[in-house]
Every structure is written in C-alpha cells, then in structure tokens.
Structure 1
C-alpha cells in the first residue's frame, strides 16, 4: 500500500536535501577560491554563464573561422565536421564517432596497467584490477579512478587528442577561439559500500558544466558499456533553453524529476555501445554519468573551450587541503 508523506516529512526531506547541497557547495569552496586567484575572469563566468542572456551575448563574440583544407587524415574516416556541428546545434549531442580498434585497445591497455587515483584523491593510488582490495585497504567506497596527467604519456590517447576532426568540429561550433583544454581517462566502478553522499559528490545526477563560457566535449567508451556499466545520459536540446530556476541558482546539479519534468523525459538519451563508441556534446546541456551496477566503465574525454585552461591542477582535480 502506498502512503502519502505528511507535510512534516516533506519539510524534513527538503531540509535534508538542502543541507546536502550546502555541504557539496562548501566542499568546493577551496577549489573556487583557487580558481579565482589564478584567473579573476573565472568568477564572472561562473556567475553569469548559467544565464541565457549573458550566455547568448558571449556567443556573439565567437570569431568567424575560415578553415583551411587539412591535409592530415582523421582516424574517423568518412565523418564530416558539418554533419557533427549540425547535430550539436540542434540537439547538443552527436553520437557516431568510432575509435579504430588499435587506438581503443592501446588506451585500454594503458589504463589497466597504469595506477589511477581514487575519488579524485592523489593520496589513494591503485590499479583498476585491484579495486576491491583498494576499498578494503583505504577503508572507503571507491566510485571512480582518475589517471589525471598520466594520460599525457599514453600515445594512443594523444593521437585522439590531436585528431584534426576534433579541432575542426570545435572551431566550427565554438568559434575561432576554440582550443584544447582537457584530456582525461577515468574509471567508474560498481561498489556496494557507497553512501548517498558519495554518489552525489561523484556527480551521478543531472548537472551542466560551467568550466567555461562555451565548451564542447568528446567522449569515448574504452570498454563495452551497457545499462549495468554506468552509461552516460544526455538531455537533448537542454543546451538551448533553460528554466529560470536553473539560471538563478549557484547549483549545477538538480534532481532527475525536476530536470525531466521541465525538459521532457523523451529528451533523455542513454548512450550504450561497444568499446570504441564515441560521442560529442555541448556540456551546458543537462547530462550525467549513471552509477555502474555490475561492471566498470572506462572512459576518455577530450574537451575544448574558449578560455585558457588552469595550470594549477589537472582537469577534474580538486584542491587538496
């Protein structure tokens, strides 16, 4: 039998949820402060880029780009940049990139042989195959393992980063200022010991990215990803419209019911596929990585933006106090 919650229980749930959000914001304060100190222009971006009027105004500063004929062949044969950009403008998402098998296998081999860092913490180092033992050794749930700057020593990953199609798409979509800002490889692990707070802090909820005024991110699955391996989810079209509530809050993460209630449940697409599948998205649109239930997910990201990247830390790495 279903029992409707009392107004009192709803109030308590709201207070608890608000407290959790406040704790998440406070945990990020050191990172935000360091970002402002390194680049004062970060603060107006962080405050204003979430609003459609200011965001639209910034898009008007995109430089026209006259792209020369590139003589370097792309590993993504037969794919035209115009096709990708057209889908991005309409949906915020294009799925149809496929890594050559030797590239996918090379990155996966690197990620399996090279130690990663648990939950963004460089003090917690382990190999992916030792995930269960690492949880016991560190005495905590491990939801993710990031390789951070170690990715720069992976030749196969660097080949993807340098592929001319990626920059071509980025410049056509973001404007002539587009530049590489992120390259990363990370694991998402199934675990039975994670708390709701762990899951929330790991961004397993709908959110949008505010790393720059304008961004584009290419993602590649480096292993088979089905519904039980933590597939990526994107809300199509949410990069072009935004509820007033989502513009006037400092929070970038919001409950699924709230997001899908406004943008439409039919707009959410879950991306599953074989190892090597790639897709590109405008990360201002709502998206999330789901929790891996049975098998780990290994993923690569190559991101482009229009502002200088941080030299103080590698992408995704918080300030360690």
Structure 2
C-alpha cells in the first residue's frame, strides 16, 4: 500500500516540476548529475574525496561572535548525528536582525511576483488572490549588516570546512517567515511538512537560527539523527525523497527523531541529507535565518 502511495506521489511531483528540472538541467548539466546521483551515499563519499579543495579561510580576520561554540565538537556531532544544537546569536546582534526583519520585503510563497512587508501582507494577499503560507527574503546579507557579519563568521566557515574536509562556499543566505494558516498545504509546500531529505550538493551543511520563540505549537523543525549516514538502501535508490512518518519511525526509531524547540536567537547546524521536516505553526508565526554552505554553487534555490 505504501509503495502504491509513494508511486502516485512521485508521478504527481514529476508532473509538477518536470519543466523546472528540464530548464535547470539545460543551464547546469552538472546540477543534474548531482541531483541524480548524490542521493547514493557511496557516490557522495567518492565525489567528496576525489574533488577535495585546499581549505582557505584565512580571509576571515574577525573573531567569531559565537564565543561558546566549539567547532570541533560541532563537526563531531555532524559526523555522527548530522545535527548540532545550541548555537546562540548574541542578544545585540539578534536585536539588529529583528529590527531589520520587521521592515524587510518578503516574497509570498517564494514567488517574486508577490512582494510584501509584514505591515501590508494582508493587503497583498487580497491583491494577489493567494494566501501566503511562507514569506522569503532571499538577499538579507545585502540589506542587514548584522546578517552579513554572521555570514562571514569564522567559526561557521570553520565548521563547514572541517565537516567537508574541503573548501566550502556560502551558497545562499535567506530569511523566511512561516505563517499560521488554517488552509492545508498544497503542491510543493506539502513536501516541506513531511519527512524528506534535500539534494543541495554532494555535501552540505545549513546553519538555521530561530528568530522567534519556537515551541511545539510554534512550528518546530524535526530532524532524524544519523539518517545522513545510515539511510535505507531503498530510500537512497528511490527518486522519491519524501517519506511517511510511519516509514521513518519503523526504520530509524523514535529515539532518533528530534523535535527542535528553543527560544529566539538559538540555532543549529544540520546536514540536510538527513531526513527532516517542518511542522506547521499553529499558535504563532515562525521566523528563521539560514546560511547554506556547499562545495559547489549551482545558483539554484529549490
């Protein structure tokens, strides 16, 4: 029964995204190779070890603002669990980011046709005829000095470099709201809220910071520890990256499913090849700041 459901989901997803994938593949054929084969762990391992680049992060001269963060401990946790918790933004930097976030421009559901600010969101929703479940700002580093400072933080770069064993690059920085919304998620958005893994590159680490308090009703992020290393073979060789909760629990176990709740300003490092999902906020809107490090920059946000 599950196989039939998964086949139907895959068919619907291919129908929905065929044109997008085709256009990207024509512009970036190397992305297509990565997208097709990086889901297989042995290929990820081989590519990573055959394409190592010398690590050069000496250009980062300033001391890290994350005084309590131990890069070696974080890398050890990423290697074993694919997850490291408890990275805290200093209060003065958090305040500067929140001041910016209140007046920033976002794009409804990630669509550049629908810009809005928090003050005029409802008006813009009415004009567009759409309900904005998510609002993205794709270039916060060019608009906020505090975010730019974090994007160049030496310890974040050091963690990425040591985890990759190769020179990292900052592929993207984004700020996004997930709004309380009673309507069911549709289309691509459905995949965000069920267990899935991302194919960003042959290796990747994301630093994600809650900028609002997040409890069980505030839209917590959920990660399956260790699923970046011991992914089930049928999950690696399937074109479908989304899985039902029951499948995840049966294979990886409840003890490895981590629901991340924390206060504003606290973040975590995650290898997005771990199975993970978002939970829709029910009580309060959620704001996240993300820094994504990869080996290669394909210039694509999916």
TM-score of the superposed pair, with normalisation by structure 2: 0.91
1:223 is matched with: 212
Check whether the contact 2:57–2:157 (CA below 8 A) recurs between aligned residues: no
* Alpha-carbon displacement from aligned partner over 1:108-143 (angstroms, at most 9, x marks no partner): 222220121111111112223444444444333321
- With 183-192 and 36-45 compared, the bigger mean Cα shift is at 36-45
1:30 is matched with: 19
Q: 1:86 to 1:66 in 2, by over 3 A?
A: farther
Check whether the contact 1:108–1:223 (CA below 8 A) recurs between aligned residues: no
Which whole-Å CA distance do the structure 2 matches of 1:304 and 1:14 have between them? 36
Give unpaired runs (5+ residues) of structure 1.
1-9, 317-321
1:188 is matched with: 178
* Alpha-carbon displacement from aligned partner over 1:214-258 (angstroms, at most 9, x marks no partner): 101100111111111111111001011111221121122211111
Which whole-Å CA distance do the structure 1 matches of 2:230 and 2:88 have between them? 29
Check whether the contact 2:196–2:242 (CA below 8 A) recurs between aligned residues: yes
Match of 2:289 among 295, 300, 303: 300
* Alpha-carbon displacement from aligned partner over 1:259-281 (angstroms, at most 9, x marks no partner): 22111111011111111001001
Match of 2:72 among 62, 76, 82: 82
Check whether the contact 2:210–2:264 (CA below 8 A) recurs between aligned residues: yes
Match of 2:251 among 262, 265, 275: 262
Larger Rg: 1
Secondary structure, in 3 states, of the residue corresponding to 1:253? coil
**Is residue 238 of structure 2 the alignment partner of residue 253 of structure 1?**
no
Give, in angstroms, the shift of residue 98 of structure 1: 0.3
Check whether the contact 1:20–1:197 (CA below 8 A) recurs between aligned residues: no
Q: 1:70 to 1:108 in 2, by over 3 A?
A: closer
1:319 is matched with: none
Which whole-Å CA distance do the structure 2 matches of 1:79 and 1:195 have between them? 36
Match of 2:111 among 117, 121, 124: 121
* Alpha-carbon displacement from aligned partner over 1:74-101 (angstroms, at most 9, x marks no partner): 0000322111101111111001210011
Give unpaired runs (5+ residues) of structure 2.
none
Give, in angstroms, the shift of residue 176 of structure 1: 2.2
2:36 is matched with: 47
1:3 is matched with: none
2:233 is matched with: 244
Secondary structure, in 3 states, of the residue corresponding to 2:297? coil
Number of residues of Structure 1 aligned to a counterpart in Structure 2: 301
Check whether the contact 1:128–1:145 (CA below 8 A) recurs between aligned residues: no
Check whether the contact 1:105–1:222 (CA below 8 A) recurs between aligned residues: no
Which whole-Å CA distance do the structure 2 matches of 1:32 and 1:106 have between them? 38
Which whole-Å CA distance do the structure 2 matches of 1:145 and 1:70 have between them? 31
Q: 1:159 to 1:37 in 2, by over 3 A?
A: same
Q: 1:21 to 1:109 in 2, by over 3 A?
A: farther
Secondary structure, in 3 states, of the residue corresponding to 1:275? coil
Give, in angstroms, the shift of residue 288 of structure 1: 1.1
Give, in angstroms, the shift of residue 71 of structure 1: 5.1
Match of 2:156 among 153, 159, 166: 166
Which whole-Å CA distance do the structure 2 matches of 1:308 and 1:163 have between them? 19
- With 70-79 and 275-284 compared, the bigger mean Cα shift is at 70-79
* Alpha-carbon displacement from aligned partner over 1:142-173 (angstroms, at most 9, x marks no partner): 21000113552111111110111111111000
Q: 1:198 to 1:176 in 2, by over 3 A?
A: closer
Which whole-Å CA distance do the structure 2 matches of 1:66 and 1:139 have between them? 48
